[in-house]
Amino acid sequence: MSTAVATNVVTCPNCQRRNRVPAAGGGNPRCGNCHHPLPWITDADDATFGEIAEQSARVVLVDLWATWCGPCRMVSPALQRLATEMADQLKLVKVDVDRSPTLAERFRIQSVPTLLVMRNAEIVARQSGAAPVATLRTWVQDAIRQSERGSS
């Protein structure tokens, strides 16, 4: 059974046009005006995580965070930048652990932020704590390469 998921409005980093991007779905979101890849950044919770993250055909970077967490607020812009830079291959899914206790328990979250890289609904990398964008970029790229080797 499919849970209704939101549509987000994303500004194209290339031409600044606003585009609607569904939280779940296939393919690669592109700007309707210039066809540039759009960053796929969305929220998920206990009810929508399966459809939004686990059924995604692309690599998913999951940010398990909390509103009260200072490091979470510090790492958020770095994750958004990374999602924009890697728009053609990465989907960023943000999960507020206080509003999604089932996911927090499932992934055994003991500290936030906790980041997961998932491919085909499987966790291929996990990291706790904030880090600069360059460190996160290397970590995500390494996880993607590792998962490609494992799936071939």
Dihedrals phi, psi of 61, to nearest 5 degrees? -100, 115
Q: Of 114, 117, 115, whose CA–CA distance to 144 is shortest? A: 117
Nearest 5°: CA angle at 124, between 116 and 112? 20
Nearest 5°: CA angle at 91, between 89 and 97? 155
DSSP 28-69: --B-TTT-PBPPEEEEE-TTTHIIIIIT-SSEEEEEEE-TT-
34 classed as catalytic: no
Catalytic residue among 12, 15, 34, 72: 72
Which residues are designated catalytic? 69, 72
